[in-house]
Each structure stands twice: as structure tokens, then as C-alpha cells.
Chains A and B, each alone.
Chain A
């Protein structure tokens, strides 16, 4: 929980805040345009506010907004959101060892709050997952970092989305401000491109997502991740990589 005092006072919390502040403009622009898109699709203010405050998943919202407006069957809307969110299932498999020391309800809140950029920054700062003998202080500082970073993501997204809902008719969609969100994701993507195999998986995944774009339910994204990861693993096996900038190779990676 990012409002918990013992996290807020931890130095790693401030580091998490600093890291996310660097992308908050992009998150904000993306949230703003998601707010605008909800209202312009014909949702009432109450519905748009409810969606912002509860769903908290920009890409799933953007995918489901036109389906709701078109009166699509409920299962189609939910299946679409699930598929768009499948990458979070991958993230949760990765983050599991980092959160299992917490009680269930706190794990659920942590997972709910951990959107794309929070996950990416966290995985970058803590590449090695904790083991059974990891000291409690280390677990606490990891969690403090994650919560500081989620706090900024949450505030930037929610604040901007609510502004977008309130000012929907004053912000022309043809300005294309949501592109700032793509630039934010791109900046983070570039900061992860620390080894040749990672760059290759980025390029392969992007090309596969374009090639498979016609798949329904945005399944092109998960397909592309699968193709890129399998290819990177095959190449890694064929030619074990030298030590990279982040020191990732070795037995204990996650």
C-alpha cells in the first residue's frame, strides 16, 4: 500500500517516486486522453469516473470503450480486456517471489496497483528475485520502492483522467496528445535495451505485433511477446551471452 507510513518514510520510496516522476508527463497525457475518450464515446460522467477509479488499466479501458459504446455482449468486452491484460499475468508470475511474504490482501492491492511502467521500473531496479534467506529489511525496501513508484503512477493517471473527463469537450482529440503516452513507453523501452538479445527481442516483438495485428482481441501483443521470448531463449542457448550492462546472465535471474 503506498500510503503506509513505514513505506513512505523509507529512502527507497523516494527513489521509486523519482523514477516514476520522469515518465509522469507521458502517463498524465495518456490518462488525460483516456478520460476524453470515455466521455466522447457517450459514457455518462458517473460511468467515466467509475471506470477511471476502478478499472485502472489504460489499454484495457481504451479497448473496451468502443465495445461498450457499440453494445457488444458482456463476455466479448471482458474477454477483450482479459486478453489485452494478459501481459500482466506474465508480470504477476515474475513478481510472485517478491510479494509472497505479504498477507493476501496486501498482495492483491500491490498487484492491482502495479501497472506497466511500475512493473518495468521495479524489474529493472531489482533484477534478482528474493530467496528464502533474503533478509526482511531487503524485502521491505523492495516493497517501499514499488509503492513509491506506484503512488506516482496512480496520482498522475487518476488526476489526469479526471481532468480529461471534466474537460472532455475543451480538448480536441485531433491534437493527438495521447502520443505522449507512447513516447513515455518508448523511453522506458529504450532504457531496458541493455543487451543485444534484448534489443533483438524488442525488434522481433514489434515486428510480430505488426504482422499479427489482424488477430482479434488484441492477441497480437501476447503472441508477439511469446515469439520474441522464445527466439531470445533459443539464441541464448545457442550462444550464451557475455556479461551485459545490467549483469543479468547467471543462474539466479528472474
Chain B
């Protein structure tokens, strides 16, 4: 456990400011303004693209490289989660089923550890 350090606390305060700035950037000015039409169309695809960009590397990469083995618990957990989702559409079930596959492979067989 480290010592509390004034510089770190300042860094944390500025990081909180970055959160507010990025989440609110387009909320600050109240002057009339609206997105161009093409950008409004594009926003239909932005949420799923953002999730794809975050999720997919977390499943198929380790330490910045594509995984080279099928013995990775994440692949099986994702397959089980996707199968559950197709059947049931529930997000909670997707998490539970995925982790039920993931933990035994990781802790029991020591895959991807």
C-alpha cells in the first residue's frame, strides 16, 4: 500500500475534470447548433462500433498480440455467451453463462492464466 501523495491527488482531480469535459463537451454551449445530417446518420452506428472496438480486442488479444491458441477461456466464454444471447436475449444470462464457462477453464485447467 503506497503513501498518499499530493501530486497523485492533483492528477486524480484533473482526471475527474477530463471525465466531465469529455462527457459534456457538446452540452456546454447553449447556442443553437445541430449535427449535420450525415453525422446524425453516422451516430446510428457509433454505439455498436464503440462497443466492438472495446470488446473484440479484449477477447482475441493478449499483451497487444492476437492469441495463437484455441486454449483460451475467453473464446469459449464468448461462444457460450453468444449462444445464450441468441436463445434468450438476456444480458445478465450472457454474463453468468460466460463466466460459468470462463472460470473453470481459467482456474481449473489454467488456460490463459
Binding site for B on A (CB under 8 A): 21-23, 25-26, 29, 39, 42-47, 50-51, 54-57, 59-61, 64, 68, 74, 77-78, 81-82, 85-97, 99-100, 104, 107-108, 110-112, 114, 116, 119-120, 123-124, 174-176, 179-180, 182-193, 197-198, 201-210, 213-214, 220-221, 224-225, 228-230, 232-233, 236, 248, 253-254
Distance (whole angstroms) from the CB of A118 to the closest CB of chain B: 10
Interface assignment of B109: CB less than 8 Å from any CB of chain A: no
Query: Lowest 8 A-B CB distances belong to which pairs?
Result: A206-B56, A111-B24, A187-B91, A54-B16, A205-B49, A85-B22, A224-B53, A187-B94
For B93, the closest partner residue in chain A by CB is: A187
Given the known interface contacts A108-B27, A206-B52, the answer about A198 and B20 at a Cβ–Cβ threshold of 8 Å is no
Given the known interface contacts A68-B11, A187-B85, A210-B61, the answer about A85 and B52 at a Cβ–Cβ threshold of 8 Å is no
Given the known interface contacts A100-B30, A209-B53, A254-B40, the answer about A229 and B77 at a Cβ–Cβ threshold of 8 Å is no
B57–A54 touching, CB < 8 Å: no
A186–B55 touching, CB < 8 Å: yes
Query: Which chain A residues lie closer than 8 Å to B81 at the CB level?
Result: 183, 186-187
B48–A97 touching, CB < 8 Å: no
Say which residue of B1, B41, B57, B90 sits within 8 Å of A209 (CB atoms).
B57
B43–A120 touching, CB < 8 Å: no
Given the known interface contacts A43-B2, A210-B61, A213-B64, the answer about A220 and B94 at a Cβ–Cβ threshold of 8 Å is no
Given the known interface contacts A107-B24, A210-B66, the answer about A184 and B91 at a Cβ–Cβ threshold of 8 Å is yes
Binding site for A on B (CB under 8 A): 1-5, 8-16, 18-28, 30, 33-35, 38-61, 64, 66, 73-74, 77-78, 81-82, 85, 89-92, 94-96, 98-99, 102-103, 106-107, 112-113
B20–A209 touching, CB < 8 Å: no
Distance (whole angstroms) from the CB of A216 to the closest CB of chain B: 12
Say which residue of A92, A184, A197, A208 sits within 8 Å of B45 (CB atoms).
A197
Query: Which chain B residues lie closer than 8 Å to A29 at the CB level?
Result: 95, 99
A90–B43 touching, CB < 8 Å: yes
For B112, the closest partner residue in chain A by CB is: A176
Distance (whole angstroms) from the CB of A165 to the closest CB of chain B: 10
B25–A89 touching, CB < 8 Å: yes
Give the complex CA separation of A254 and B39 in angstroms: 8
A87–B50 touching, CB < 8 Å: yes
Distance (whole angstroms) from the CB of A181 to the closest CB of chain B: 9
Given the known interface contacts A23-B91, A60-B18, the answer about A229 and B46 at a Cβ–Cβ threshold of 8 Å is yes
For A194, the closest partner residue in chain B by CB is: B48
7 contacts between A and B (CB under 8 A): A21-B92, A59-B54, A92-B27, A108-B27, A184-B91, A185-B51, A192-B48
